Amino acid sequence: MKLVFVNIMHDLHRLDSTAIISQPPVPLAVLYAVTPKAIETALVDEQTDEVRFDGDVFAFTLATEYAGKVYRYADDLRAAGKKVILGGIHVTVCPEEAMRHADAIVTGEAETLWPTVCADLLAGKLKERYTGSPTPPSRMVPVDYRFFADRPYLTPASLFATRGCNHRCSFCVSSRYMGPFRTKPLDVLEREINQLRDLYPTAFLQFTDDNLLADRDYGAEVLGLLRRKRRRFVTMVTLDQLCDGALMQEMASSGCLGVAVGVESVDDDNCLSMGKHHNVHRPFPEAVRQANEQGIHVCALLMVGLPHDTPERLARTQRYLEQVPCSLYDLRILRIYPGSPLYDQMLSRGNVTNGWWLGKEPVSTNHFLPGRLQVHFKHSHFSPMQLQYWTLKLTRELDRMNGGAVAHALRVSRRGDATKFAAILLSARSRIVKQARTLLDRVEQAMAADAETPLV
């Protein structure tokens, strides 16, 4: 029996920080590590492979954004007599929907349950639904990165040390559905780091944790391990962590090259309305400067279309951020994912349509834009086109390439002795801004043709 793990991409455009990251689908490798040897396995990853279905059973991982695309593949495969198993965050949140497109679904974290699913599969007794549970640290096994062979990911050395998050932002699904905050045993993490060093000796480590440093004691142990291993790394941090000078110093001395920080909005009322209390009253510009002093680049993650956003506010945001020395700005239109409190709120007000991810969009948008710029909700101060316009405009202005941006990147990296990383960042920034400029021209033309939608 041949089981194929499949990672489908929502959209292959690289308009944000994905211009510097393309990483292996590690969650599927977690399952591969506990798949019985009696089953032959393979991987199809749309990021690197042509999507061809050669096998008997297909196990797809699913996020909301591309659920419709996966369901179409699943329906075709089942019509051709193949078996389909679906799992991942979207299946966990919308199990009834997923069951209509699968022979079996698995909700929640799956590695403790996966051997049972495989045994049922081999015995021809697959059940319709399996309910996973948060994996306890004692059952966490090292990811085997040989699963990805020599696929050319931009950031192949992707790993995670923790699961879950101690915050509860209202737009976030994973922190609510995927169990409490847990930490991977350090010896398991060390084995992964060793394997990654052997497979990709020159690659920096990319931590994909929701909140790697949520537990300071564990965080200190991880940083100590990275220092001992002399591994360079990047990770996400929360804004309060970025503002903790001592923590950032510790990170720098442990080999941190850069952090992505969930700023979301520079306006406190927006952060409060999203339950992002840890972002309120934070000296963001000063924290970025201090991180830069330590040799750490900062990528700011921002959302466009938060409740208090208005055109005036976004113009002010642009002026404010132009004074903050971030190496990259990653702007995304707000997404309203099922399972989040925000989704329930918007649904009850009629501002989002149940099932938007299946193409039932409540609003008309510029369909020539890549999927990640589509708009799925109604905003009180913006039309969808205006949200797209502002996202592209802010990207174009904030990620603008000029002598100052180059000098800044090189200066930060000189302190961290990592000019190669600066070059990666700059080339990503240049690609992002070029795409934003081209798409913005098209949006402006479309808006000019639509007299009812003024630009601002």
Q: Nearer Cβ to ligand SF4, position 175 or 317?
A: 175
Tell me how far, at minimum, the Cβ of 166 lies from ligand SF4, in Å: 7
Binding status of residue 23 toward ligand B12 by CB under 6 A: yes
The binder of 169, among ligand B12, ligand SF4, none, by C-beta within 5 to 8 A per type, is ligand SF4
Q: Which of 35, 41, 174, 238 binds ligand B12 (CB under 6 A)?
A: 174
Picking from 347, 330, 325, the residue whose alpha carbon sits closest to that of residue 408 is 325
Burial class (CB in 10 A: 0-12, 13-18, 19+), 170: middle
Token pair, residue 323, equals: 């004074």
Calpha distance 388→378 (Å, rounded): 13
Pairing of strands 182-183, 162-163: antiparallel
| Binding segment toward ligand SF4, per CB under 6 A, in 104-112, 167-175, 308-316, 424-432 | 167-175
Binding status of residue 170 toward ligand B12 by CB under 6 A: no
Binding status of residue 85 toward ligand B12 by CB under 6 A: yes
Tell me how far, at minimum, the Cβ of 337 lies from ligand B12, in Å: 4
Q: Nearer Cβ to ligand SF4, position 232 or 335?
A: 335
Binding status of residue 25 toward ligand B12 by CB under 6 A: yes
Residue 342, Ramachandran bin (φ over 0: left; ψ between -120 and 50: alpha; else beta): alpha
Residues 202 to 221 in contact with ligand B12, rule: CB under 6 A: 208, 210
* Dihedral, CA of residue 260, residue 264, residue 269 and residue 270, to nearest 10: -160
* Dihedral, CA of residue 434, residue 438, residue 443 and residue 449, to nearest 10: 150
The binder of 211, among ligand SF4, ligand B12, none, by C-beta within 5 to 8 A per type, is ligand SF4
Identify the helix (H) or strand (E) that includes residue 104.
Answer: strand 104-107
Tell me how far, at minimum, the Cβ of 45 lies from ligand B12, in Å: 8
Tell me how far, at minimum, the Cβ of 30 lies from ligand B12, in Å: 4
Token pair, residue 206, equals: 């990319």
Binding status of residue 61 toward ligand B12 by CB under 6 A: yes
In SS3 terms, 192-238 reads as HHHHHHHHCCCCCEEECCCCCCCCHHHHHHHHHHHHHHCCCEEEEEC
Q: Nearer Cβ to ligand B12, position 25 or 305?
A: 25
* Residues in contact with 153: Cβ distance below 8 Å, sequence separation at least 6, in sequence order: 22, 23, 24, 47, 48
What is the contact mask toward ligand B12 in residues 99 to 138, using x (rule: CB under 6 A)?
Answer: -------x--xxx-----------------------x---
Calpha distance 124→260 (Å, rounded): 45
What is the contact mask toward ligand SF4 in residues 168 to 187, using x (rule: CB under 6 A)?
Answer: xx--x--x------------
Q: Are 85 and 58 in contact (CB under 8 A)?
A: yes
Binding status of residue 244 toward ligand SF4 by CB under 6 A: no
Tell me how far, at minimum, the Cβ of 320 lies from ligand B12, in Å: 25
The binder of 9, among ligand B12, ligand SF4, none, by C-beta within 5 to 8 A per type, is ligand B12
The binder of 238, among ligand B12, ligand SF4, none, by C-beta within 5 to 8 A per type, is ligand SF4
| Binding segment toward ligand SF4, per CB under 6 A, in 88-96, 162-170, 280-288, 321-329 | 162-170
State the greatest distance between any 2 C-alpha atoms of the chain, in Å, as a whole number: 64
Residues 15 to 44 in contact with ligand SF4, rule: CB under 6 A: none
What is the contact mask toward ligand SF4 in residues 224 to 243, using x (rule: CB under 6 A)?
Answer: --------------x-----
**Edge-to-edge, what's the strand order for the sheet holding 158-159?**
158-159, 205-207, 233-237, 256-264, 297-304, 328-333
Calpha distance 130→111 (Å, rounded): 12
Binding status of residue 393 toward ligand B12 by CB under 6 A: no
Burial class (CB in 10 A: 0-12, 13-18, 19+), 149: exposed
Q: Nearer Cβ to ligand B12, position 47 or 273?
A: 47
Q: Are 196 and 203 in contact (CB under 8 A)?
A: yes
Q: Which of 210, 309, 361, 399 binds ligand SF4 (CB under 6 A)?
A: 210
Tell me how far, at minimum, the Cβ of 219 lies from ligand SF4, in Å: 15
The binder of 168, among ligand B12, ligand SF4, none, by C-beta within 5 to 8 A per type, is ligand SF4
Calpha distance 352→337 (Å, rounded): 10
Q: Supply angle C-alpha 126, 132, 136, rounded to 5.
A: 135
Please report, as ranges, the residues that interact with ligand B12 according to CB under 6 A. Answer: 7, 9-10, 18, 21, 23, 25-27, 30-31, 59-61, 63-66, 85, 87-90, 106, 109-111, 135, 160, 172-174, 178, 208, 210, 337, 372
Task: List contacts with ligand SF4 (CB under 6 A).
Answer: 165, 167-169, 172, 175, 210-211, 238, 262
